[in-house]
Structure 1
């Protein structure tokens, strides 16, 4: 499948690295707002076509799919434009900044007979898929602890008076959108939308959130989600049932999971060692080639719905 790239940053470098070890992946073109950046990126990754004209980029009949890795606020606009040109879309997480924008993307998909998918690498990991088969074995789930706390080097710059994109809410950025989404997506994928939500967080002078905590109540269980760009945490995430526990090394990119009984004795383990993004790429290509509708649209929709609710409670107005 011939891919075009929108966004020439470090996450795109990782995407291309993963694509090169994924069957069916082919780099075709790259778009950037400046020709110099487009050319430099194409030369670095041996991409045959490059341009600074978005219309020219999308009008290429040979182009089959678009990967979007621009600031969050632009995702839905660029995805809709791409789908209107009959291109499939794989968009970085969060897929957009609101449920309203997400629904506009769904409408564009339906109007054009193409597919779009959120590049939520965690839920395509073999470790995550194995985890889903284990849940029934740990009894009734009573508590979930998912967290992603990672100190940002950009916070050091913020404290010195330099505001970078990571802390600019006008771009749809902040701890919730950049990190918290990784705790929300697997939660709603595994357990659905919660009955009640309580959220709180810390807001910087720019209006961007730098950390947050969310309590999600379900009929039989409670989930605690935490995310931060101003601290680090190295504890695993957990799913705790009446009969056992599943630990997850990193909720944003599961690669090692452990199943234990209540006493903490290990029953089983599972690991995968591929590049985290290769699994989402493989799933996307396979689903399109096979004519499947397996793009986890419902999970992305519930994720955006929950993000909207958390933003209201945290007074995040973007």
Structure 2
């Protein structure tokens, strides 16, 4: 049994808990929030009695073995390192941190304290992603990667009314690239490694974050394009194009509706059954790493997180997206 504490009491934490509760070795035992009211309200939903408003006290708690961190991105590194220094294993929501420097500090802290540290990117743990990876030879050689994830945020309506919520605040290291674009870029690095060149463009909002953008990358034998947005919707699928055919992916973040379309028009369905709550798989993999004594997950490796963050950093430089955390 791995006893979990959670940092963050928003919808994504509910979603993680819902997925993790399907795992017999998961137990939720503690909740941290900045306010006692929020901590108790969230804990009561799950019958949890241990609540905390002091991060250091939470980290030292003897009722938890591991921590799921879903605080704003600007706090990921601080929260993760505080918990790891107290001997707790940590799974941190994507994006892993604000920048490369923070990711490197988190990795060093995990090594120093011999605890598991993993980025909570669900896509790479999904059965359908594994099928995509194993099917690249069927369409190869691969020449183009096109990832499309544009999802209009309900918080943008408030933004247009003059109310800037967390999703559009640079002081929280947020914006379209960090919140949505990472879903396009992380699997790309997982499949093809670090790109040789990164270029990006984006539409900047008055608050100081990007509303939407595009990242293009070059590899020695293929090109990549990532399109992402929090201010528009898209119904276009994503594709991995090869000289023999294309892998077409309906919903990219969940790897749903996946098929190969060959040049002669024939189609091969790749989609297999997945647990409806796709966060189940990342939770299971993290728990297995903890139980095996692995401080680094074999799928969501530290190198993968670090190389993805380097791409995000370069894209932000091109767009002109600067966070207080960078200073």
2:285 alignment counterpart:
283
SS at match of 1:307: helix
C-alpha contact 1:150 1:232 (8 A) present in aligned 2: yes
C-alpha contact 1:2 1:28 (8 A) present in aligned 2: yes
Q: How does 1:229-244 map to 2 (within 5 A)?
A: 229-244=230-245
C-alpha contact 1:99 1:308 (8 A) present in aligned 2: yes
Q: Distance in 2 between matches of 1:131 and 1:250?
A: 13
2:28 alignment counterpart:
27
Deviation at 1:256, TM superposition (A): 3.0
| One of 278, 300, 303 as aligned partner of 2:308 | 303
2:93 alignment counterpart:
92
SS at match of 2:71: coil
Deviation at 1:260, TM superposition (A): 2.0
Deviation at 1:63, TM superposition (A): 1.2
> Per-residue CA shift, 1:93-147, capped at 9, x if unaligned?
0010100000000110111011110000111111101111111111100111101
1:273 alignment counterpart:
274
> Per-residue CA shift, 1:247-297, capped at 9, x if unaligned?
112221213311221233212322333111000000001122123342421
Q: Distance in 1 between matches of 2:20 and 2:7?
A: 15
Q: CA RMSD in A?
A: 1.1
Unaligned runs of 5+ in 1: none
Aligned pair 1:173/2:178, yes or no? no
C-alpha contact 2:116 2:289 (8 A) present in aligned 1: no
C-alpha contact 1:249 1:256 (8 A) present in aligned 2: yes
SS at match of 1:272: coil
Of 192-201 and 293-302, deviating more is: 293-302
SS at match of 1:114: coil
Deviation at 1:53, TM superposition (A): 2.0
C-alpha contact 2:87 2:113 (8 A) present in aligned 1: yes
TM-score w.r.t. length of structure 2: 0.95
Aligned residues: 318
1:9 alignment counterpart:
10
Of 239-248 and 47-56, deviating more is: 47-56
Of 17-26 and 48-57, deviating more is: 48-57
C-alpha contact 1:86 1:114 (8 A) present in aligned 2: yes
SS at match of 1:94: coil
Deviation at 1:162, TM superposition (A): 1.1
Of 281-290 and 98-107, deviating more is: 281-290
C-alpha contact 1:125 1:255 (8 A) present in aligned 2: no
C-alpha contact 2:250 2:258 (8 A) present in aligned 1: yes
Q: Distance in 2 between matches of 1:263 and 1:234?
A: 25
Q: How does 1:155-166 map to 2 (within 5 A)?
A: 155-166=156-167
